Structure 1
Amino acid sequence: MDLLADPFTLAMAVLAVVVLGLAKGGLAGLGALATPLLALAIAPASAAALLLPVLLVQDVVSVWSYRRTWSGWIIGWMLPGALVGVVLASLFAAAVPEDQVLLALGLITALFGLYRLWAERGGRIVAASSSPGWIGTLFGAACGFTSQIAHAGGPPFQMWVTPRKLPHQTFVGTSSITFAAINWMKVPSYLALGSFNRAVLEAAGLLMPLAIAATFAGVWLVRRMNSARFYTLVYLLMIALGLRLTWQALI
């Protein structure tokens, strides 16, 4: 049966793909809302499997759009940790309660966003973070772990990278390449679990045109924002996302 035959499932899938597209276009943090949205209509495992091919296509648009603005230093430190996180989540997925992971992630994300807004209140200038690269590897492991579980790797990335005060397009380009690599790291475990069945791939294929259009829309929007406004929006989205993940874990 076509996964998108039900009107409610179709509506949630369209909304999830638009959210992912805006996130891939540069509105960091929104992407972690996509799986919970689609999981309102279908099983969480099926939701994650359906969205991964969509993410892979959106990554192409995002990486190409920001191919000249990215930090190799940040990516180089984060990706080894991300690989460890993806492997650990794949091996111990059955033993790790997803609700507890999302609860911890939600609370930390919301508190971090609130702290950064407070620290930068009134346009106050805060010195950029200069934490060592190995800290980024630890956050990379958290990115890989939460991304494998629920495509929710954005918050750990933001927690390490936003305080570094990169130009906002460099921030987005770095995020694009990092998560493009992480999403390909996740493919073997999805294949091993048989998650990419015919119904999932057909549904993902139908959503591809919308996925590409939504990503370009996100790129267009982000390129017209200044850095100060961009980071304020990121912190607000982190608070909203943190509260949403916390609520999802508790209900």
Structure 2
Amino acid sequence: MTLTSLVLLAVAALLVGFAKTAIGGLGSVAVAIFAFVLPTRESTAAILLLLIVGDVVAVWHYRRDADWRLIRRLVPAVLPGLALGALFLAWVDDTTLRRTIGVLLLALAALQLVLTRRSTDTSQVGGSRAAAIGTGAAAGFATMTANAAGAVMTLYLVAQGVEKRRFLGTSALFFFGVNLCKLPFSAGLGLFDADTAKRTVLLVPFVLVGTWVGLHTARRLSQSRFDQAVLVATVVSAVALVVR
């Protein structure tokens, strides 16, 4: 592996940590970097282990802010989404799938921005049972095929006007559970090997630095700036999925 590749992976690991404790949508940019440097399937497993490291830090810091009611509404649909994503990852062209997910995220982000500019109250629709089921299934599918569930969750929580710390705590706990559930699926697909483990150990310090920077950044962001930042990050991550 070249020095340039190592630097890119280190930057991606920093973004993983930062996304977990501050602006979640940026996680997909890290996913895109990993897929650029490593073979696609190998990159999926490599970044999953780093995501879990970031999850542990985020859950510890935001554990008192998680909204269990929101999480309980999403969980029932996540496992079917994961299973469907695993099937597609095993049998279908995952590049096409990632680009499809990216286009859908762009469309959803555009809709959210339009509704926000028109001062439309989206909390009633965002808080419906159908939205919870759709988000849970989409998050499971997107995270299994493209590690892109952060953007799905962002749009769901923004639509409900969730406060910053509640947003971060709910996302942290939700994705910690989701990523743990992904481990057996990824192992069953044969995505873990010795090189992946070594690479993870080397990159963990960068993830931890990213979480530290993210914690300090989140404290300084006002609620309005936070909402704007997560939507912009969602658009950036969707573009990353489309073009990578």
Aligned residue identity for 1:127: D
The alpha carbon displacement at 1:125 in A equals 4.7
User: Where does residue 6 of structure 2 map in the other structure?
Assistant: 10
The alpha carbon displacement at 1:195 in A equals 2.1
Aligned residue identity for 1:93: L
Residues 139, 160 of structure 1: 8 Å contact kept: yes
TM-score w.r.t. length of structure 2: 0.92
- Which of residues 209, 219, 224 is equivalent to 2:220? 224
Q: Does 1:147 align with 2:135?
A: no
Residues 36, 44 of structure 1: 8 Å contact kept: no
TM-score w.r.t. length of structure 1: 0.90
Alignment of 1:1-251 (within 5 A): 5-121=1-117, 125-130=119-124, 131-248=127-244
Aligned residues: 242
The alpha carbon displacement at 1:128 in A equals 4.7
SS at match of 2:220: coil
Distance of 1:107 and 1:91 partners within structure 2: 21
More displaced 10-residue stretch of structure 1: 37-46 or 177-186? 37-46
Distance of 2:69 and 2:177 partners within structure 1: 15
Residues 110, 241 of structure 1: 8 Å contact kept: no
SS at match of 1:223: helix
The alpha carbon displacement at 1:155 in A equals 2.1
Distance of 1:215 and 1:224 partners within structure 2: 15
The alpha carbon displacement at 1:230 in A equals 0.5
The Cα offsets for residues 56-97 of structure 1, whole Å up to 9 and x where unpaired, read as 111110001111112111110112211111112223323333
Distance of 1:126 and 1:138 partners within structure 2: 21
Gaps of 5+ in 2: none
Residues 114, 235 of structure 1: 8 Å contact kept: no
SS at match of 1:40: helix
Distance of 2:164 and 2:120 partners within structure 1: 16
Residues 89, 145 of structure 1: 8 Å contact kept: yes
Distance of 1:67 and 1:57 partners within structure 2: 15
Aligned residue identity for 1:49: A
The Cα offsets for residues 95-148 of structure 1, whole Å up to 9 and x where unpaired, read as 333233222222222233233333333xx7543512323421221111111111
Aligned residue identity for 2:218: V
Residues 45, 192 of structure 2: 8 Å contact kept: yes
Aligned residue identity for 1:129: S
Gaps of 5+ in 1: none
SS at match of 1:39: helix
Residues 80, 140 of structure 1: 8 Å contact kept: yes
Alpha-carbon distance change, 88 to 118 in structure 1, aligned in 2, over 3 angstroms? closer
